[in-house]
Amino acid sequence: MSDTLFRTLDLIEPGDLVLYHGSLRDRHGLYIAEPCFCVSCAREGALGSTDVRYRLTDPFAVDPEAPPLRCARRESITRSVANA
């Protein structure tokens, strides 16, 4: 397995383009991923959780006021190959 493929499967860095395929079916699509630092994620982190959550921003949003998708689980997103 190539090093590039391994990174594609595993690591998501801030600013990466990702594909969301989680429980919110109407929000499926491409997003820019950033770590989520909302109140509930900060509290979970303070309680010792290592479950990293992501804040997803739609780079193609028609509505600039559209709220980002918060607290997405790692297993709900896949790093887009469009990054490579």
Does position 61 bind Zn ion by CB under 5 A? no
Does position 33 bind Zn ion by CB under 5 A? no
- Give the three-state DSSP class for 15: coil
Burial class (CB in 10 A: 0-12, 13-18, 19+), 12: buried
**Nearest distance, CB of residue 53 and Zn ion, angstroms:** 5
* Residue with smaller CB distance to Zn ion, 16 or 34: 34
Q: What is the DSSP letter of 65?
A: T
Chain position carrying tokens 């739609």: 58
* Residue with smaller CB distance to Zn ion, 38 or 66: 38
How many residues bind Zn ion (CB under 5 A)? The answer is 6
